[in-house]
Amino acid sequence: MSTQVNALKIRNTTKEDIPLILQFIKEIAEFEKLSHEVITTEKILMESLFGDKKSAEVVIGEHGDQPVGYAIFFHNFSTFLGKKGLYLEDLFVRPQYRCKGFGKTLLLHLVKIAKERGCGRVEWSVLNWNTPAIEFYESLGAKPMDEWTVYRLDEAAISRLSV
């Protein structure tokens, strides 16, 4: 699937995009001040995105011949709706390409995918300090789920608890 709006071409990724995807992951981690948490490799991404049991999908936004942003997403499930949802893990536009509508175009592309796939909702998390992102999402009609707190078991906890 490919979409072009606001001079942004959005395309699905291929195995050849693995180095670019990893670069985008490192760039968003730096922006979020979380670079120290990035441990993924090209090999891990290859298996996770293109292996037999792929766990996520990625689209790339290009302006001319320049990759300017990406979105990585996967399906979750709502027991209350009885339908799958689309979970947006990362939406990132390189700083020099922001405020041109490219982030909105990427997000609306995912909304279109969610509708085509019969999803009941689209969800994502935002760091509390990321005011520009929060304002952007709210301008589109997204609502914070203030009554929910995200909990996480990291890999060490999973190992400890699975014995």
Give the active site residue among 87, 97, 137, 151. 137
70 assigned to active site = no
- Cβ atoms of 121 and 76 within 8 Å: the answer is no
| Token digits of residue 110 | 């995912």
Closest by Cα among 151, 93, 82, 89 to 123: 89
Please give the C-alpha separations between residue 99 and each of 15, 71, 132, 136, 148, in angstroms, as whole numbers: 30, 17, 10, 10, 30
Closest by Cα among 28, 27, 93, 30 to 60: 93
Please give the C-alpha separations between residue 6 and each of 66, 114, 126, in angstroms, as whole numbers: 14, 21, 25
Catalytic residues: 137
